[in-house]
Amino acid sequence: MPEQDTPFGRATLALALLAIDPAGLGGMVLRARSGPVRDAVTALLPALPLPQVRLHPQVTDEALFGGLDLSATLAKGRIVQEQGLLARPAALVLTMAERCPQQLAARLAMALDRDAGHCLIALDEGAAEDERAPQVLAERLAFDIDLGDVAMGDITGFPPEPDEMASARTALSHVITGDDLAERIIGICAALGIDSLRAPLFALRAARAHAALLGHDSVDDDDLTAACALTLAHRATQVPEAPEPPAKEDTPPENDGDGEEQQSDDLTLPDELLLEAVRALLPPDLLARLAAKAARGGTGSGTGAARKGNRRGRPLPPRAGRLGNGARIDIVATLRAAAPWQVIRANGAPRGAGVLVRAGDIRLKRFEDKSDRLLIFAVDASGSAALARLAEAKGAVELLLAQAYARRDHVALIAFRGTAAEVLLPPTRSLVQTKRRLAALPGGGGTPLAAGLRAAHDLAALAKRRGLTPTLALLTDGRANIALDGLPDRPRAAEDALLLARLLRAAGMDGVVIDTGNRPEQALKRLAETMGALYLPLPRANAERLSAAVSAALG
């Protein structure tokens, strides 16, 4: 029996339970870099009672669901279909699951929901928090095992022998569950903040499989503890409160009967101890992960917007269309569409006419590409903020630009002071140019916040026309006192800023508003809400904190 107190032991135990009930448990997400540790786990996959089918993130619909066998159809003069990879139950091994596109994730989720006997092993090699297997797939898989910190010396414990798991599969249907088992599991899910209906079902199935593996006739507390730890810990959205110690009783309980203590026939582990077992497996940085995820939820993702074209990017399924405007024909897809009609069309065609293609058969190539993201810094360089914030803003821009090379981001800098705003740094990825422009950034004067927002809006519109996805990071203390016409008027300056904020929201631009004042400014919080942006009060923040805050908020 594999141990459960080590990550590798949990991985082997999860595989053993999957081998007993593969379709019921759905599968597992295995987070590990390609290497000997992951190979040690994948070498155990033949224990699953299903044939293995390896999938690539760019697998096509024809490969998944089957389609027209073009060569056989043309040779025989009748439609010949070929089977897809999902035609029969299989253990689907998805490599590079962190790169799985949403279209493929939806198709695999549909295959798992159809109860066709599949199970899925998602091999996730993502290192960053935002590089994860799609949630739509992880939700349908019972287990999530992280082997990122496991070394070769930590590999201990292996699953039972194949004949033991075969006996457990036979005994699974005879395992009995108590009447209150489902209620207890649901209570544990509620304490962990899990709102998924699949989670308690997975825990119940895992408990039955664990009981069958150990030869139990019914699910006991050890089975339930192991199942909850494997299926619920990675789904937790809150840390359960520690149970309060029971109050001491003044008088001992009376003992009825003939002097012997009454004991229940069914000794059950308290739910508090079950929660403690699950709490021990919660990630130590769970709250930090949830906070970062919530921050990114209000804004865009780390990548740019998806664009469809016909020249470059990830291939999409071809669609019927007409040639023109630079469209490229998909020869194979066009022949597939024309093949079923060749016998009918040949009746009225000259002898030796070859393959007859009509306009309705034309299929065009399509691609999806990710646009580059433009991070626009709008920095308050007024007298109230310049002395304290400009140095930090310069440092934050330089730090973020260093990350732009890996994330394909561009950076632009807008400074607003006096009565207007100025684009000091057009969109660029040049570190040398950025440092030169930042060194000459002036400060002092009034706070034309509306002018800074208008300059950001105009720059974002220009960036969109160039194919970039703009995101705004506004750094200000919020004390707007210059209206759009350049005249000093605090009430009108606030109204103009809100007007530009609504305009930015209508343009669909993501952003974050960083309050750099010594105290949080309610007017600035209202501005962020109007703009649909995240509000971050960061008094006394240095360049590193500003850079980290923007990176966490914007992904």
Helix, coil or strand: residue 223: helix
pTM value is 0.57
Mean pLDDT computed over 458-484: 85
Residue 447 has pLDDT above 90, yes or no: no
Mean pLDDT computed over 178-204: 87
Spatial distance between the Cα atoms of 98 and 218, rounded to a whole number of angstroms: 38
Q: Which two tokens stand for residue 155?
A: 């590999």
* Residue corresponding to tokens 């069309």: 345
pLDDT for 119 equals 93
- Which pairing describes strands 52-55 and 91-94: parallel, antiparallel, or unpaired? parallel
- Would you place residue 525 in the very low, low, confident or very high pLDDT band (cuts 50, 70, 90)? confident
- Among the ranges given (110-119, 201-210, 318-327, 483-492), the one the predictor scored with the smallest mean pLDDT: 318-327
Q: How many helices (H) and strands (E) does the chain have?
A: 21, 16
pLDDT for 300 equals 42
- What value does the CA radius of gyration of the chain take, rounded to a whole number of Å? 30
- Among the ranges given (52-56, 198-202, 322-326, 482-486), the one the predictor scored with the smallest mean pLDDT: 322-326
- Higher per-residue pLDDT: 475 or 26: 26
Residue 221 has pLDDT above 80, yes or no: yes
Helix, coil or strand: residue 342: helix
Q: Which two tokens stand for residue 555?
A: 């992904």
What domains does the chain contain, in order, with CATH numbers?
A: 1-69+88-159 (3.40.50.300), 160-239+271-298 (1.10.8.80), 307-370 (no CATH), 373-554 (3.40.50.410)
What is the chain's mean pLDDT, rounded? 78
